[in-house]
Structure 1
Amino acid sequence: MKTLQPDTLIRNPSGAPIVACVTVNCSAACLWQLVGQFSGFDAFIPQMTHTEMTGTGVGALRTKYFRDGHRVVEQLNSWDEHTMHMTWTTIYNTLGIARLWAAMHVEALGTECSKVTWTIIAEPVDVTQVGFEAFVQGFAYSALENVRRLLG
């Protein structure tokens, strides 16, 4: 009988980063208060109904529920309030995404002007899928435009 060895299905995606960013007329602290809350993405992504959290801080899991019935489970990898930066990994979803890693970063451009950058590296389940990168880019940019409307 073969001895069992540690294994995992989780691995980082490969591919070119997909980047969406917007400038918002508010302080970086105000912007981070909205986009830096791992449990609060439903505040600026209207396609979501709510989020359920398991645990707190780095290592916590969030389940995002979408109006069309889709679900996404993600783990918080890093979160730094001082640098206004966080990263997470998708570990389960019903959207056809094989692997996804993402980062959110806020930087001050002045006292009442700041920029948020959402970086995503993702792989579709179906590698022949056309338009996957454009869909991810459009989704992220639309969400950040909602942030601009909410705060700007």
Structure 2
Amino acid sequence: MKLLQPDTLIRNPSGLPIVASVVVNCSASRLWDMVGQFAGFDMFIPDLSHIEMMGSGVGALRTKFFRDGNCVVEQLNSRDEQAMHMTWTTIYNTLGVARLWAAIQVEAIEAERAEVMWTIIAEPTEEANEGFEQFVQGFASSALDNVRRMLS
């Protein structure tokens, strides 16, 4: 009998980062309170109907349910409350994404001005290659524009 070896389907994507960022007229802590909640992205992404969580903290899984019937399962890789940043990896989705890693971070500019930056490195499935980068860029930019409108 052959001895089975450890294996995994999860690996980091390769490719150029897609970055979306906005400056918001509010404190960095208020901005982080919105974008830094792994379970709360449905607050500023209207395409999401809801989010379900399994676990909490690093290693927790979130399932994002989209209004169009798609879903995405992601794992929280890191989160630093003081530095106001977190990273996550997509482990399952119905959107045509083969692999995805993302980070979100908030930095203060002034007392009542802060910037949020969302960085995504993703690889499409073969079928979803056409227009993939524009889709990802548009999705992240639209979400952060909503954040700016909600908090400014």
Q: Give the TM bin, normalised by the shorter chain.
A: over 0.9
Residue aligning to 2:62: 62
The Cα offsets for residues 48-85 of structure 1, whole Å up to 9 and x where unpaired, read as 01000000000000000000000000000000000000
User: What is the RMSD computed on CA atoms of the aligned residues?
Assistant: 0.9
Match of 1:69, SS? coil
The 5 A counterparts of 1:55-134 are 55-126=55-126, 129-134=129-134
Contact 2:20 2:137 in 1 (8 A): yes
2:82 maps to a residue whose letter is: H
Per-residue deviation, 1:100: 0.1
CA distance in 2, matches of 1:34, 1:127: 34
Contact 2:88 2:103 in 1 (8 A): yes
Per-residue deviation, 1:129: 1.9
Per-residue deviation, 1:128: 7.1
Per-residue deviation, 1:92: 0.2
Residue aligning to 1:53: 53
**Cα 1:128–1:139, aligned 2, differ >3 Å: closer, same or farther?**
closer
**Cα 1:127–1:70, aligned 2, differ >3 Å: closer, same or farther?**
closer
Which 5+ residue runs of structure 1 have no aligned equivalent? none
The Cα offsets for residues 10-48 of structure 1, whole Å up to 9 and x where unpaired, read as 000000000000000000000000000000000000000
Match of 1:130, SS? coil
Which 5+ residue runs of structure 2 have no aligned equivalent? none
The Cα offsets for residues 92-138 of structure 1, whole Å up to 9 and x where unpaired, read as 00000000000000000000000000000000011772211011000
Match of 2:135, SS? helix
Residue aligning to 1:27: 27
What percentage of aligned pairs have identical amino acids? 72
Is 1:151 equivalent to 2:135 in the alignment? no
CA distance in 2, matches of 1:73, 1:128: 18
